[in-house]
Amino acid sequence: MELRIIEALRRLNRGVALLVGAGLLICAAFVLTDILMRRFGTSLGGTEEIAGYAMALATAWGMAFTLLELGHVRIDLLRSRVQSFGRALFDVFSMIVMSGVIVTIAIKAWPVLERSIKNGSTANTPLETPLVWVHAPWFAGWVWFALMSCVVTLCALSLVVRGRYDETETVAGAFAEQEMLQ
Amino acid sequence: MIGYVSVALLGLLALSIPVGIVLFLLGFGIDIFGSSFPLTRGLGNMVWSSSNSATLIAIPFFVLLGEILVRSGVATRTYAALDRWVSWLPGGLVHANVATATMFSATSGSSVATAATVATVAMPQAEKLGYDPKLFSGAIAAGGTLGIMIPPSINLIVYGFLTQSSIPQLFLAGLIPGLALALAFMVITVIICLIRPELGGTRRTFPLAQMLRALIDLVPILLLFGLIVGAIYQGWATPTEAAAVGVAGAFIIALMFGGVSWDMLTQSLTGTVKVTSMIMLIVIGASFLNFTLASAGLGRELTTFMESLGLSPFGLILVVVLLYIVLGFFIETLSLMVVTIPIIVPMVVGAGYDVVWFGILMIVLIEMALITPPVGLNLYVVQGARKSGSLNEVMLGALPYCLTMLAMAFALIAFPSIALWLPNALQ
Amino acid sequence: ETLSVVGSWSGLPLHMQYEAPFWSETLPAASDGKIEVELTTHNQMSLGLGDIYPLLGQGVYDVAMTVADYAVADAPELEGLDVPLVALTADEARAMVDAARPMVDDIYADRFNAKVLAIAPYPPQVVFCNEEVATLADLEGLKIRASGRMTAKLLEALGAEGVNVSFSEVPGALQKGVVDCAVTGAGSGYSAGWWEVSTHLMPIPLGGWDSVVTAMNMDRWNGLDAATQELIAGQLKSEFEDAAWASAQDALVNDIACLTGNGECTAGDARGMTLVEVSDEDFAKAREILVSDVLPEWAERAGDDWAARWNDSVGKTVGVTIE
Ligand code: NA
Ligand code: NA
């Protein structure tokens, strides 16, 4: 059950990561176009601003993918010295703390969006981008990350309670079994 | 306060909580215990403004560039070609690790991406050929650090940004020290392997014809370096934009080598997102920690401390070196720079030192921080690419290279022209 | 009382010569030690430029000062504090700022939950060009790096093309022709070595004066007793604001001397940039564009009430009316 949930979330977030990656690729193309156009004496304008937004959104929405791929760096000097039950405890504890922090961030991200809604804020640039357009998806990305953390935490917790320690590690361990870069 | 923070940092890291999350926790801790102001109220703004950065978008671009080179097979070919040329040395393939890292440093702006690239292509070889995992993986971790010394370099972009000094000049200044450091890594490898041959594995020689044929596999990387650096020095692109140029170049090279497929593309993209998010969680956590530390008066504490020492300019530099070594154990490199530059650089420049020169000295010290535990990103990147073995092996293996970097730092202090000769000569 | 104070750019003269001495020595001494100050700067805290006042409003710190223009994302009406080209001397700029003060007070109270305590100037934002320019008309078709929204709009209206380049990348961008001109404070341009990569200096305040607003969190301010409020406001006015303004004109003259070699440079070696004197008719034309295009656009962004208020205060002082 837990493993099936995690598997579904992994597929879902791989899709999200592909979208994020495609966004970064478009951003690179945008920057390149600007460089080329400058050679011909004109310019798209605002690439720096848009690149900043792209980075903020890519970061927010990519976090959950990295989490599910067990990609957030952890130090396992102690963890690697104990048996599978101990490792499972390390993993669950780490996930609980992580969820707490990410939920806090998501909650504190709301005032940023709220302010740009309330003030109708527009970027301090010639583009005058309405900041709601970027703050809203950014906020949603952190909420998504918080949600994913909580689900992973619950799954890991449930596995530990049922004594399936090795499976906990596949859900919330320190390293992915199959490293991506291969 | 620095003491408390260090102890808490070590404790939380030992519990194997993700590094980025630990930085946030420390920030919360300082808010509660070290400051009378409700700093956590600023958390959302800090997360937004530290990730809304056109400078940092160079990170995913450089990572993507590396991913494309790896997945299209270009990296493997480069590694094999360099293997032909350097594996006759005592230490064998370990030299190929350093040489490949040096070459990829010239196309990559990030040490993490460089180490990841080299680790990916080199690790399978180590297992096949029976190398001592310590020295072999240590050389990758250390060689990877050259990514921020040899241009292009994200960290030099950030340094130039924060100190308002010229980024192209910094890039020029990093070139010779970077190459010298690469050479020094190879020399130290030879020395180690002459003393203890069992660490190095077999030395291999190849016929000259094979060596010459291998040269063609180095062309793509050299072209890519020319493209990225050329775009900057021809004035076509800013150093950050040049990363996008590099992505396009890598893509074209991959197309020519026939390594482009739908699978390769999707894996490169998801791989980039994974590595970028991993780095960014740490960068954002570091920015928040930095914000709380600054609010709680770390800057004042440091400045007062340094002034109370009443140092000569040379003494000041020695203390600064010591400071970076100590802080470098615990603080992630980009945050280490961001935290210290506003405090340290004015002092150093005020003492009569050149701001470009100090940038290069700082990069050497930051490179050390990348391979010193407990917080040394390159160690984890290399460990992440390994199938077995503990992190301790990578740490031990990196130690000799760490000492080499320290020697390089002192060489820079004794002979500033190692860094300054090239930018001055080209002016 | 301990006040946590976030200063403006730590490397610039306004902070080093006025802010830092005022907050760390003058005010604590004047209060007989009753007020203690913890001083840092927004760049030392690596705060986002747009976050400085919003965080002040949330009470993250007690006092903050930075360029008002950084906050216009949340308050477009604030652009009216620092309109380019309407104030040529420090005295005129001060008159403009004084006229705008009631507006600024209201904006900070409404938008940032903050009490404005002082407004001091950065040196005016002038134009560095690596291109032969003799008149404002020559800017047409050039790529120019602007700082701030109204300046960018004005440059666009003058036929130039705005390019976004961060401050540290400007020298390289000028040298390689990524941009032809760039706008910044004369002093910042001098100390950052822009004279190495540009030839012509147009010393008109095309970027305005970059007013630096010192403000205190409103709840914190209301929590102080009347005597303390009076002490802080009075000391700030006489020891900080007046002093900073008094030196502003001399600083501009000195910075221009340092960049062009016309006159005596006390800050270091004088450089040899060509000083471009803008003719009266040229200037009148730019003002005309400002009044006919740029300001009405601003009035639309900010809302008509603000335009009317601006006309009655700042507009009267500088002799400009938004139609
Ligand atoms: Na590099
Ligand atoms: Na370290």
- Which DSSP string corresponds to C271-288? --PEE-PPPHHHHHHHHH
**pLDDT number for residue B411:** 96
**Residue C162 contacts A where some CB pair is shorter than 8 Å:** yes
* Chain B interface, best mutation among C1, C10, C16, C44, by max B CB count within 10 A: C44
Is A126 in Cβ contact with C153 (below 8 Å)? Answer: yes
Residue B105 Cα to ligand 1 midpoint, Å, equals: 4
Residues of C with Cβ-Cβ distance to A115 under 8 angstroms = 54, 74
Helix or strand run (H / E) with residue B415: none
C50 contacts chain A (CB < 8 A): yes
Going across the sheet that includes C125-129, the strands are: C161-163, C143-145, C181-185, C125-129, C200-202, C274-275
Tokens (6 digits) for C52:
């400085």
Range with the lowest mean pLDDT among A67-76, B27-36, B122-131, B147-156? Answer: B122-131
Q: Within a 13 Å sphere around the CA of B57, how many CA atoms are in the beta-carbon half?
A: 35
Q: Which ligand is nearest to the CA of B145?
A: 1
Set of chain B residues whose Cβ sits within 8 Å of the Cβ of A181: 67, 70, 116, 119-120, 271, 385
This complex has an ipTM of 0.85
Residue of C60, C167, C175 with shortest CB distance to B41: C60
Inter-chain CB proximity B25 and A69 less than 8 Å: no
Higher pLDDT pick, C319 / B334: C319
To which residue do tokens 């010239």 refer? Answer: B106
8 Å CB contact between B264 and A58:
no
Q: Which residues pair with C274 in a beta bridge?
A: C200
How sure is the predictor about B70, in pLDDT bands with cuts at 50, 70 and 90? Answer: confident
Q: Do B24 and A72 count as a contact with CB atoms less than 8 A apart?
A: no
Give C182 Cα–ligand 1 centroid separation in angstroms. Answer: 29
The amino acid that residue C176 corresponds to is K
| B1 pLDDT above the threshold of 50 | yes
Q: Are B158 and B338 in contact (CB under 8 A)?
A: yes
Give the mean pLDDT of B231-241: 80
| pTM score over 0.80 | yes
Instruction: Indicate the residue of C47, C178, C193 with minimum beta-carbon distance to B238.
Output: C178
Q: Which helix (DSSP H) or strand (DSSP E) does residue A79 occupy?
A: none
The terminus-to-terminus CA distance of chain A in angstroms comes to 29
Minimal CA separation from B362 to chain C, in Å: 18
**How close is the Cα of B105 to the center of ligand 2, in Å?**
20
Question: pLDDT by residue (tens digit) across B381-399?
Answer: 788 777 677 778 888 999 9
Q: Which residues of C touch A133 (CB under 8 A)?
A: none
Q: Which partners does chain A have (≥3 C-beta pairs < 8 Å)? A: B, C
B42 and C50 in contact by Cβ < 8 A?
no
CA of A65 to the centre of ligand 1 (A): 27
Q: What is the pLDDT of residues C24-67, one digit of tens each?
A: 999 999 999 899 998 888 877 778 788 899 999 988 899 999 98
* Nearest-neighbour CA in chain B from C286: distance (Å): 31
Chain B residues close to A101, C-beta within 8 Å: 21, 24-25
Contact check, Cβ <8 Å, B291/C46? yes
* Residue of B24, B48, B55 to mutate when probing chain A, most A C-beta within 10 A: B48
- Per-residue exposure over B79-113, b if at least 16 CB sit within 10 Å of its own CB, e if not: bebbbbbbbebbbbbbbbbbbbbbbbbbbbbbbbb
Gap from CA of B153 to ligand 1 centroid (Å): 5
A114 touches chain C (CB under 8 A): no
pLDDT digits (tens, 9 = 90+) for B27-36: 898 888 877 7
The predicted pLDDT at position B361 comes to 96
Tell me the pLDDT tens digit for each residue of B161-208: 677 777 788 999 999 999 999 999 999 999 998 998 877 777 888 888
Inter-chain CB proximity B51 and A59 less than 8 Å = yes
For residue C267, what are its two tokens?
A: 């800050």
Substitution target in B270, B289, B375, B382 with the highest count of A β-carbons within 10 Å is B270
Give B368's pLDDT tier (boundaries 50, 70, 90). very high
* Nearest residue in chain B measured CA to CA from C7: B295
pLDDT, tens digit, 9 for 90 and up, residues C105-118: 999 999 999 999 99
Quick: pLDDT tens for C153-182.
888 888 888 776 777 667 777 876 778 999
CA separation for the pair B146, B175 (Å, rounded):
10
Contacts with C70 from chain A: Cβ below 8 Å: 124
- B10-59 pLDDT tens trace: 788 888 898 889 889 988 988 888 777 788 888 999 899 889 888 788 88
Residue of C12, C32, C35 lying closest to C23 (CA atoms): C35
Q: What is the pLDDT of residue A176?
A: 55
Pairing label, strands C63-67, C2-7: parallel
Residue in B closest to A80 by C-alpha:
B390
For tokens 């970028």, name the residue: B276
Nearest to C46 among B52, B166, B338 (CB): B338
Using 50, 70 and 90 to split pLDDT, how confident is the model at C1?
Answer: confident
Cβ-nearest to A65 among B24, B51, B274: B274
| Contact state of B270 with A180 under an 8 Å Cβ cutoff | yes
For chain A, the domains span 2-181
Predicted confidence band of residue C229 (pLDDT cuts 50, 70, 90): very high
> Does B48 contact A138 at a Cβ distance shorter than 8 Å?
yes
SS3 A182: coil
pLDDT at residue C65, rounded to an integer: 94
Cα C75 to Cα C78: distance, rounded to the nearest angstrom: 6
pLDDT at position A181, please? 36
Q: What is the pLDDT of residue A13?
A: 96
Share of chain B above pLDDT 70, in %: 97
Q: Ligand 2 mean position to B408 CA, how many Å?
A: 17
- Cα(B109) to centroid of ligand 1, in Å? 4
Contact predicate B50/B284, CB 8 Å: yes
Residues of chain B contacting C165 with CB distance shorter than 8 Å: 238
Whether A38 contacts chain B with CB within 8 A: yes
User: How far is B389 from chain C, CA to nearest CA, in Å?
Assistant: 39
Q: Which residues surround ligand 2, an ion (CB under 5 A)?
A: B 328-329, 369, 372, 375-376
Distance from CA of C198 to the nearest CA of B (A): 14
Contact A105 B43 (CB under 8 A): yes
Residue A39 CB burial class (10 angstroms; 0-12, 13-18, ≥19): exposed
* HSE-up of residue A164 (Cα within 13 Å, Cβ side): 14
Q: Which ligand is nearest to the CA of B113?
A: 1
The pLDDT, as a whole number, for residue B405 is 95
What is each CA distance from B160 to B176, B214, B341, B363, in whole angstroms? Answer: 18, 38, 10, 12
CB contact, 8 Å: A104 with chain C?
A: no
**Residue type (1 letter), C215:** A
Nearest to C287, CA basis, from C158, C174, C189: C158
Please give, rounded to a whole number of angstroms, the shortest distance from the CA of A140 to a CA of chain C. 20
**Pairing mode, strands C161-163 and C200-202:** unpaired
Q: Kindly list the strands in the beta sheet with C36-41, ordered across the sheet, starting from the edge strand earlier in the chain.
A: C36-41, C2-7, C63-67, C211-217, C114-121
Q: Residue B427: is its pLDDT beyond 70?
A: no
Q: Does the beta carbon of A27 lie under 8 angstroms from any beta carbon of chain B?
A: yes
* Cα–Cα distance measured from residue C39 to residue B56, given in angstroms and rounded to the nearest whole number: 29
Q: Does A97 touch chain B (CB under 8 A)?
A: yes
Residues of A in Cβ contact (< 8 Å) with B267: 180
Could you give the dihedral angle defined by the CA atoms of residues C280, C281, C285 and C290, in that order, rounded to the nearest 10 degrees?
A: 20
Residue pLDDT, tens place only, A42-66: 777 778 889 999 999 999 999 999 9
Contact A142 B47 (CB under 8 A): yes
Is B38 in Cβ contact with C46 (below 8 Å)?
no
Q: Which one-letter amino acid corresponds to residue C81?
A: L
How far apart are the C-alpha atoms of B257 and A45, rounded to whole Å? 35
HSE (side-chain half, CA atoms, 13 Å) at C118: 25
Q: Write down the pLDDT at residue A182.
A: 31
Instruction: Give every residue of chain A whose pLDDT is below 50, as ranges.
Output: 177-182
